Amino acid sequence: MITVNGRPVPSGGTLLDACKHAGAHVPTFCSDEKLPAGGHCRACMVDVGGRLMPACTTPCRDGMEILTETETVRQYRRDLGELMVAESNPRGAVKAELEKWGVTGERYGRAKPSGIHDESAPYLRLDTDACIRCHLCVRACSDIQGQFVYSMQGRGAGAHLGWGNVPFNETDCVSCGACVASCPTEAITDVDHLRQAADPLRTVQTTCAYCGVGCQMTVHARGNNVVDIQGAPSPVNAGHLCVKGRYAHGFARHRDRLTTPLIRRDGRLVPATWSEAISYVASRMNALKGHVGGLSSSRCTNEENYLLQKWLRAVYATNNVDCCARVCHAPSAAGMRVALGTGAATNSLADIELADLLMVSGSNTTEAHPVTGARIKQAVLRGAKLLVVDPRRTELAELADVHLQTRPGTNVPLLNSMACALVEAGLVNREFIHARTDGWEAYEKFIRQWRPESAEAITGVPATLVRRAAELYGRARHPMQVHGLGMTEHYQGAEGVMLLCNLALLVGAIGRPGVGVNPLRGQNNVQGAADMGCQPDLLTGYQNPNDPQVRERFERVWARPIPTTKGLTIPRMYEAIRRGELRGLYIFGEDVVQTDPHAGLVAETLKQLDLLVVQEIFLSETAKLAHVVLPGASFLEKDGTFTNGERRVQRVRQILDPPGDARPDWRILCDLMAATGYAQPFRHPSEIMDEIALVNPAFRGISHARLERNGLQWPVPSMDHPGTPTLHATTFPIGKGRLSCVEYLPSPSLKDAGDKLMLITGRTLAHYNSGSMTRRTDNVRIREADLLEINDEDAARLGVDDGAQVRVHNENGEAIATACVTDRVQPGTLFMTFHFPESGANCVTTDVVDRLCDCPEYKLTPVTVEPLRDGR
């Protein structure tokens, strides 16, 4: 026991912990809960038995008597404050504290302004005059984001904050805002901070609506505007955010927002009332019954996705419903269901901290899932090993112990050869294989044929590297895998994922914390859209419509028959439209004309429809073709839930009103259901979730009330169940894990490719998918157009200069981009982003799909590149 100002408190932790426990105020300028104590600012001195000691770094010892407000302490603080103002011009919280200490600036004088200000970056503002050298920004940048932009330059009284003697926008800063969040003195601020009133009117905690990491954020709003977003404490992001989550919110009040329903009349989309639009859509959909389908929205909430598939199934008796999981992680779900019985991440993002080896396959994590990418970087800086499988030299590949730089389209031979190396090196866990897997005998015989030395000719990866990777993976105690679309968007995408599962099963890295196979889900709620049953073969909760027990449950709750005939996937819907069999399509929050492959054909296909309805927040490329456009709400304007890539169902909370006549999407769907004779009783999304819990056994224990704190990871089979951070602890839903023997079948794209270059498409940090949201924010100042990465050798051969405009083309169409000549890509390989409609990246991607689940092969497109001369 110790005492603080005479009050007994338990000893343990630091003096600062004890003072907090006792409710005693101790000033700290260099302390941040996200970082270990630094002891730089010396503001937290307290009196311990007559001696001054730093509270943040001194451990408690039994019997200590701590005093926080003695005259010695006050005198010390005043002296410290006078020294601080002699060296800097603190602002914000520091300035306020110094004023409380009675600091006047008379003792040693006041610092002269140095004039080092920088406003070159779109969001951050730097003014080193206010810097008190607390090092928090330096540590936040290195220890949270792993970016190392800042340093303290110089020594002693001349030390000052620096970033490499270049304008700030030329540094490696990724605009995550961790430095702003930690700076106590406004030496580093941001445009939101400057806009923020001292006392914003409203605050909610909600879930980021960009990627599938699902970061928790605290949103401040004044009037109907967001003024500031901060990271919230959560197991998902521990208070950290990326440039999209923290800053890219300006789209919500952008003048391009749809504010009224639109109906096409005489070839033009013209404003209509809600009652006109709803009755128009209802009557046309009813007239086309038997020939309709719908695409659901991975950007919208679980409750809304649930309603869309319920409407199509119950009213139109069709399973023609799909979502963008089809074009990203459907192969993960399919492959993992075959191997493990559940098509979702086996572990939690927080497990990255437990892993001693991370294997990142086909994922540019630091750009596509930035907060998870930062977490992986931190794990590596702490000593975890890193394997990267990727044709590109990504940021993580640069940090990797082994980078397996494959030729595009060769994941299957690469992973088979790595498994062979594991078996040959005797690094497999025979006990686990015997107890928990099926198919070992046949598999062992099969896999021994895949020696890395033979696979090298196909993959281009030296056998020594494959054997080294297998050695590291096989010897790790906690080898944890994450994978992205570089693994799934291939002709053998689902089979590639089965091979990732093989690796985990071979070494027993399933069913415990810190290991597993974890798809990094792309869109914020693509996991949820699939969970809710927006798939043509499975109902809510991945349940089989042909199972009589399942059907009975749904029919009881829905009071309608459940269709049992398998519906159409997105590519099959397009084929059916071209055959004239599918005549009405309802597209909810997806811009397929920009994001689906062979975009020219997609647009021509949609034009053949008798009815195209698009529910959207902007007039997207797809909405421009619609017969009816219904204006929905952004995630800031409605309640509900999203499910992130680790199966965590989290709350989405409204803080703004939708603009104009736009409505929350769940209301629009309820209105349509009522207008089509299937009125729903829901007054709030929480009531929809209550119904989801009735039909989906994995959600039986989920309600909005139970999600209040950190959400819950499904399955949650009962109302007192705490959720499931780790799947397959003792058994698999299919009994035993399945080791799959997968032969390599080269993609049709590789046949007759001749000397064409192979294009891979993907995301960049500042933008998100179709870019409809991020392009309407200052993120365009970070990246204003799509880039085409091309290797130096190819660029020289083709006469392409860095920064020049190039034409990328094949028989499907052409795309235009700015060339970035780089050795991040290998000779023969190109990489291009697809965020800007004017560049048309998806005009060239092909119709080749995963042979098991119809996911397009975005990562392998044969193209020709030529420089554009005089704009042609």
**Measured distance CA(237)–CA(229) in Å, rounded:** 14
Q: How far, in Å, CA of 702 to CA of 707, rounded?
A: 7
CB 241, min distance to ligand SF4, A: 4
How many other C-beta atoms are found inside a 10 Å radius of the C-beta of residue 225? 14
Site size toward ligand SF4, by CB under 6 A:
14
Q: To 5 degrees, how large is the angle CA 226–CA 232–CA 237?
A: 120
Q: Closest CB to ligand SF4 among 28 and 644?
A: 644
CA distances from 742 to 414, 498, 739 (A): 12, 8, 9
Distance CA 836, CA 817 (A): 10
Of the listed pieces 155-163, 204-212, 299-307, 590-598, which binds ligand SF4 according to CB under 6 A? 204-212
DSSP string, 522-571: SBTTHHHHHHTT-SSS-BTTTB-TT-HHHHHHHHHHHSSPPP-S----HH
Relative to beta strand 648-652, strand 712-713 is antiparallel
Of 612 and 765, which has the nearer Cβ to ligand SF4? 765
Q: How far is the CB of 248 from ligand SF4 (least distance, A)?
A: 8
Which amino acid belongs to residue 679?
Answer: A
From residue 563, alpha-carbon distances to 83, 309, 316, 318, 480 in Å are: 77, 12, 9, 6, 40
244 interacts with ligand SF4 by CB under 6 A: yes
Q: Whole-number minimum distance, CB 369 to ligand SF4, in Å?
A: 6
Considering only 2, 66, 213, 817, the residue that binds ligand SF4 (CB under 6 A) is 213
Which whole-number Å values give the CA distances from 188 to 124, 200, 377, 835, in the listed order?
A: 7, 20, 24, 30
Smallest separation, CB 767 to ligand SF4 (Å) = 11
Binding segment for ligand SF4 (CB under 6 A), chosen from 234-242, 281-289, 730-738, 848-856, is 234-242
Q: Does 239 bind ligand SF4 (CB under 6 A)?
A: no
Q: By three-state DSSP, how is residue 722 classified? A: coil
Q: Which amino acid is at 450?
A: W
Residue 342 or 774: which CB sits closer to ligand SF4?
774
CB of 220 to ligand SF4, least distance (A): 16
H-helix or E-strand containing 217?
strand 216-222
Please report, as residue ranges, which positions from 340 to 379 form the binding site for ligand SF4 (by CB under 6 A).
Answer: 369-371
CB of 371 to ligand SF4, least distance (A): 4
- 242 binding ligand SF4? (CB under 6 A): yes
* CB-nearer residue toward ligand SF4: 221 or 447: 221
According to DSSP, residue 113 is labeled: P
Nearer to ligand SF4, 498 or 782 (CB): 782
**How far is residue 222's CA from residue 655's CA, in Å, rounded to a whole number?**
10
- Conformational region of residue 27, where left means phi above 0, alpha means psi within -120 to 50, and beta covers everything else: beta
Q: Is 582 exposed, middle or buried (0-12, 13-18, 19+ CB in 10 A)?
A: buried
**Is 299 an interacting residue with respect to ligand SF4 (CB under 6 A)?**
no
Phi, psi values for residue 759, rounded to 5°: -90, 130
Segment interacting with ligand SF4, rule: CB under 6 A, options 209-217, 340-348, 619-627, 860-868? 209-217
Stretch of 54-62, 81-89, 235-243, 720-728 contacting ligand SF4, by CB under 6 A = 235-243
Which part of the chain contacts ligand SF4 (CB under 6 A), choosing from 242-250, 429-437, 439-447, 750-758?
242-250
328 binds ligand SF4 (CB under 6 A): no
Asked if 252 is part of the footprint of ligand SF4 (rule: CB under 6 A), the reply reads no
Task: Give the nearer residue to ligand SF4 in terms of CB position, either 278 or 349.
Answer: 349
Non-local (6+) Cβ contacts of 798 within 8 A are 790, 865, 866, 867
In the window 115-154, what residues touch ligand SF4 (CB under 6 A)? Answer: none
Residue holding tokens 């396959």? 361
Choice from 66, 130, 180, 241 touching ligand SF4 (CB under 6 A):
241
Q: Which residue number, 190 or 691, has a Cβ lying nearer to ligand SF4?
A: 190
Measured from the CB atom, is 359 or 520 closer to ligand SF4?
Answer: 520
Q: Is 208 in the site for ligand SF4 (CB under 6 A)?
A: yes
Nearer to ligand SF4, 213 or 258 (CB): 213
Taking CB under 6 A as the binding criterion, the range among 194-202, 236-244, 667-675, 847-855 that sits at the site for ligand SF4 is: 236-244
First to last CA, the chain: 79
Q: Is residue 597 packed enough to be buried (19+ CB in 10 Å), middle (13-18) or exposed (0-12)?
A: buried
CB atoms near residue 340 (< 10 Å): 26
Pairwise CA distance, residues 606 & 598, whole Å: 13
Nearer to ligand SF4, 437 or 774 (CB): 774
Minimum distance of ligand SF4 from residue 638's CB (angstroms): 18
Site string for ligand SF4, 488-517 (x = CB under 6 A): ------------------------------
Q: Min. distance of Cβ 648 from ligand SF4 in angstroms?
A: 12
* Contact residues for 478 (Cβ-Cβ < 8 A; gap 6+): 351, 354, 355, 356, 357, 509, 513, 514, 515
Task: State which residue, 176 or 573, has the beta carbon closest to ligand SF4.
Answer: 176
Could you tell me where the DSSP H helices lie in 196-301? 243-247, 274-287
User: Residue 215, interface with ligand SF4 (CB under 6 A)?
Assistant: yes
648 binds ligand SF4 (CB under 6 A): no
Burial classification of residue 260, based on how many CB atoms lie within 10 Å of its CB (0-12 exposed, 13-18 middle, 19 or more buried): middle
Sequence-distant (≥ 6) Cβ neighbours of residue 273 within 8 angstroms: 261
> According to the binding rule CB under 6 A, does residue 210 interact with ligand SF4?
yes
Name which position in 38, 122, 177, 245 contacts ligand SF4 (CB under 6 A): 245
Q: What is the smallest separation between the CB atom of 455 and ligand SF4, expressed in angstroms?
A: 34
When CB distances to ligand SF4 are compared, the closest residue is 245
Q: Supply the minimum distance, in Å, between the C-beta of residue 210 and ligand SF4.
A: 3
- Stretch binding ligand SF4 (CB under 6 A), from 237-245, 277-285, 616-624, 790-798: 237-245
Site string for ligand SF4, 272-291 (x = CB under 6 A): --------------------
User: How many CB atoms sit inside 10 A of residue 63's CB?
Assistant: 10
Whole-number minimum distance, CB 246 to ligand SF4, in Å?
7
Segment lying near ligand SF4 (by CB under 6 A), choices 203-211, 553-561, 588-596, 838-846: 203-211
Q: Which is nearer to ligand SF4, 490 or 763 (CB)?
A: 763
- What distances in angstroms separate CA 402 from CA 361, 471, 506, 685, one per listed residue? 12, 11, 20, 47
Nearest approach in angstroms of CB 207 to ligand SF4 is 8
Instruction: From 210-218, 261-269, 600-608, 757-765, give the range in contact with ligand SF4 by CB under 6 A.
Output: 210-218
Measured from the CB atom, is 262 or 712 closer to ligand SF4?
Answer: 712
635: left (phi over 0), alpha (psi -120 to 50) or beta: alpha
Shortest Å distance, C-beta 186 to ligand SF4: 23
Cβ neighbours of residue 586 under 8 Å, at least 6 residues apart? 281, 285, 292, 293, 294, 295, 308, 312, 613, 615
Question: Helices in 659-763 by DSSP H: which ranges?
Answer: 665-675, 685-695
Question: What sign does the dihedral 144-149-154-157 (CA atoms) show?
Answer: negative
H helix or E strand, kind and range, residue 308? helix 302-316
Choose which of 214, 496, 508, 533 interacts with ligand SF4 (CB under 6 A): 214
Residue closer to ligand SF4 by CB (options 214, 508) is: 214
Q: Pick between residue 214 and residue 571 the one whose CB is nearest to ligand SF4.
A: 214
Cβ proximity to ligand SF4: between 182 and 535 the closer is 182
Residues that bind ligand SF4 (CB under 6 A): 208, 210-211, 213-215, 237, 241-242, 244-245, 369-371
